[in-house]
């Protein structure tokens, strides 16, 4: 019986107080010093929910077009109160975290490593897991935390950032952004480590998804204010550039320690790309 291989932990955010915005009909061991704390953001320029995407489809002849399954599913998802989406994501992360704790309890107390091995194979992303056909780990790793500090910081980050975005996005678009950021972070982390010839180190956590939320928010409201370390006001556009430079430097020089800076870059890029897709309809 053996414990899982060492992990790469993602550096989380702490908090951003959601703004109050009227909706319109359309648009590892972590040290406190290493964590960016966000207290508030005023989204003055994000005024269109999903940037005016149409709620209805029509055929070229002018008649109504029959909705597909995914269109009906999205419409039902968008009709759910946004608070349900917020707490569902938190509950899913909490549930996976509880499974990790139970798996470690079985291993340490009962010397039974079966559940711990199963969690490592299904809730951690690594090149080895992907080679073995466990493609789903690109998704499940985005909801997976093993340590209290990692789960707490990512959970608080999501709790304070998500309402600001849910106020300007439909539920379906928000979930797509969250999942795209998490998966992009996983793919970038595994792919770049393989390309640079670095050791295959499993990674897990929601930081890639959270970074995508932050970068999208910075693109949607570049003049909004974030408070770093609770006291230092920083414009959103400057924060986004700073995060790219900071994590880019750490990724290039291999000074990540237990932070997955490469995965952070993937999440940041996903948020910018998703904003461009909705705002400018580039792809």
CATH number, domain at 181?
A: 1.20.1540.10
Q: What is the pLDDT of residue 48?
A: 40
Instruction: Report pLDDT for 44.
Output: 36
90 vs 215: CA distance, rounded Å: 20
Q: Does 236 reside within a domain? A: yes
**What's the pLDDT score for residue 269?**
95
> Given this model, what pLDDT does residue 150 score?
86
- Domain assignment of residue 25, yes or no: no
Cα distance between residue 125 and residue 56, in whole Å: 38
Query: Is the torsion defined by CA of 44, 50, 55, 57 positive or negative?
Result: positive
Tell me, what's the pLDDT at 226? 78
What's the token pair of residue 281? 């309809």
Q: Which tens digit of pLDDT belongs to each residue from 6-16? A: 444 444 443 34
Helix (H) or strand (E) run with residue 103 in it: helix 82-110
Query: Is 157 inside any structural domain?
Result: yes
Q: Is 69 part of a structural domain of the chain?
A: no
Asked whether residue 81 carries a pLDDT value surpassing 90, the answer given is yes
Q: What is the rounded CA–CA span in Å between residue 41 and residue 15? A: 10
pLDDT of residue 89 exceeding 80, the answer is yes
Bridge pairing between strands 232-235 and 225-228: antiparallel
Regarding predicted confidence, which is higher, 94 or 27?
Answer: 94
DSSP state for residue 123 in the 8-state scheme: S
Cα dihedral sign for 105, 109, 113, 115? negative
| 59 assigned to some structural domain | no
Count of domains for the chain: 1
Q: What is the pLDDT of residues 130-153, one digit of tens each?
A: 999 999 999 999 999 988 888 888
* Residue-range definition of the domain harbouring residue 90: 13-18+35-42+78-280
114 falls within a domain: yes
Q: How many CB atoms lie within 10 A of CB 99?
A: 17
pTM for the whole thing? 0.76
Residue 167 lies in a domain: yes
pLDDT given for residue 183 in this prediction: 95
- Is residue 178 situated within a structural domain? yes
pLDDT digits (tens, 9 = 90+) for 67-78: 888 889 999 999
Which is more confident, 257 or 119?
Answer: 119
**pLDDT band with cut points at 50, 70 and 90 for residue 256:** low
Mean pLDDT, rounded, for 164-184: 94
Handedness of CA 232, 236, 241, 245 (dihedral sign): positive
pLDDT, residue 55, reads: 39
Percent of the chain scoring above 70 in pLDDT: 74
Share of the chain above pLDDT 90, in %: 47
Q: What pLDDT is recorded for position 52? A: 43
How confident is the model over 201-241, as pLDDT tens digits?
888 888 999 999 999 999 999 988 877 766 788 898 998 99
The chain-wide mean pLDDT, for the chain, equals 78
What is the torsion angle, in degrees rounded to the nearest 10, for the CA atoms of residue 66, residue 84, residue 156 and residue 209? -20
């Amino acid at each position: 019986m053996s414990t899982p291989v060492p992990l790469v932990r993602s550096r989380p955010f702490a908090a951003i107080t959601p703004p109050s915005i009227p909706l319109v009909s359309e648009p590892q061991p972590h040290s406190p010093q290493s964590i960016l704390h966000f207290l508030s953001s005023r989204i003055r320029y994000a005024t269109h929910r999903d940037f005016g995407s149409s709620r209805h489809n029509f055929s070229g002849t002018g008649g109504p077009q029959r909705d597909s399954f995914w269109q009906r599913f999205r419409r039902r998802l968008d009709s759910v109160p946004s608070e349900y989406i917020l707490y569902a994501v938190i509950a899913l992360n909490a549930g996976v975290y509880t499974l990790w704790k139970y798996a470690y309890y079985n291993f340490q107390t009962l010397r039974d490593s079966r559940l711990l091995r199963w969690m490592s194979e299904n809730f951690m992303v690594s090149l080895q897991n992907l080679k073995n056909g466990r493609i789903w780990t690109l998704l499940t790793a985005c909801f997976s935390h093993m340590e209290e500090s990692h789960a707490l910081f990512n959970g608080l980050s999501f709790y304070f950032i998500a309402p600001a975005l849910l106020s300007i996005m439909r539920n379906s678009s928000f979930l797509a952004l969250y999942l795209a950021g998490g998966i992009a972070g996983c793919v970038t982390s595994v792919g770049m480590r393989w390309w640079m010839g670095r050791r295959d180190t499993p990674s897990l956590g929601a930081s890639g998804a959270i970074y995508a939320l932050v970068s999208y928010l910075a693109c949607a409201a570049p003049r909004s204010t974030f408070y770093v370390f609770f006291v230092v006001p920083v414009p959103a556009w400057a924060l986004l550039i700073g995060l790219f430079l900071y994590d880019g430097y750490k990724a290039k020089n291999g000074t990540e320690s237990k932070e997955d800076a490469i995965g952070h870059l993937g999440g940041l890029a996903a948020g910018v790309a998703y904003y461009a897709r909705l705002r400018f309809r580039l792809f």
